[in-house]
């Protein structure tokens, strides 16, 4: 009987030889490229979500400000516009039932609500911020009982005060500089104000 010959090592298998430096460099380059693409996608998604959140918050602030101005206008007993003759009113004053005067005015990039008693400011707070300086539309527009717009440059402030039956409030703000403007408007009938019978 013959014996089988002992197995001789034939050298190393191809899989045993390890990884070369070139293969490692190619793999690392691919991993870096994939990571860079994933980071770019994540960054753009995060930026989009931040912009969307800012836009939603700006829109909610506009709704809240319009609601507050509308509530004051609806409960007004009289309306007083203050400013220089021939120009748009600088502020809007609303007399409320309890003798309190509420004044709305735009200062800088803010709509400010001030509570006045005996002509003195009792409290002041910002109702809306982020009003763009280049806003092309007036914040307040005034209409007679017949629906005709009362223009501050044409009528005197006294006539505006006597004839106004409805105020259209238009507010706009920017969630962040250069990110576009949100705008809302509301038409508010002055329930407690009865316009005088004067030719408007």
pLDDT of residue 86: 47
Q: How many CB atoms lie within 10 A of CB 140?
A: 21
Residue spans of the domains in the chain: they are: 53-189
Residue 188, pLDDT above cutoff 60: yes
Q: pLDDT for 140-153, tens place per residue?
A: 888 888 888 877 66
Q: What is the pLDDT of residue 42?
A: 94
Residues facing 168 on adjacent strands? 141, 187
| pTM given for the model | 0.67
| Residue-wise pLDDT tens digits, 35-67 | 999 999 999 999 989 888 888 888 888 889 888
The residue whose two tokens read 């006597």 is 162
- Give, in degrees to the nearest 5, the angle at Cα 146 between 145 and 150: 75
Tokens of 60: 């909610």
Q: What is the structure's pLDDT at 52?
A: 86
Please state the separation of Cα 137 from the chain's center in Å. 16
């Amino acid at each position: 009987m013959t014996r089988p010959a002992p197995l001789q090592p034939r050298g190393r298998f191809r899989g045993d030889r390890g990884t070369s430096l070139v293969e490692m460099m190619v793999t690392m380059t691919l991993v870096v490229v994939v990571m860079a693409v994933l980071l770019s996608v994540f960054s753009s998604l995060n930026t989009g979500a931040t912009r969307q959140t800012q836009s939603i918050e700006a829109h909610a602030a506009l709704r809240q400000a319009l609601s507050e101005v509308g509530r004051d206008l609806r409960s007004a007993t009289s309306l007083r516009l203050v400013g220089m003759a021939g120009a748009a009113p600088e502020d809007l004053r609303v007399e409320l039932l309890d003798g309190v005067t509420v004044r709305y005015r735009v200062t800088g990039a803010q709509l400010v609500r001030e509570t006045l008693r005996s002509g003195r400011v009792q409290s002041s707070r910002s109702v809306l911020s982020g009003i763009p300086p280049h806003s092309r539309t007036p914040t307040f527009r005034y209409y007679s009982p017949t629906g005709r717009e009362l223009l501050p440059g044409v009528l005197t402030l006294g006539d505006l005060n006597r004839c106004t039956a409805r105020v259209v409030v238009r507010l706009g703000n920017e969630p962040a500089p250069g990110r576009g403007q949100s705008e809302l408007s509301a038409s508010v009938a002055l329930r407690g104000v009865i316009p005088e019978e004067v030719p408007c």
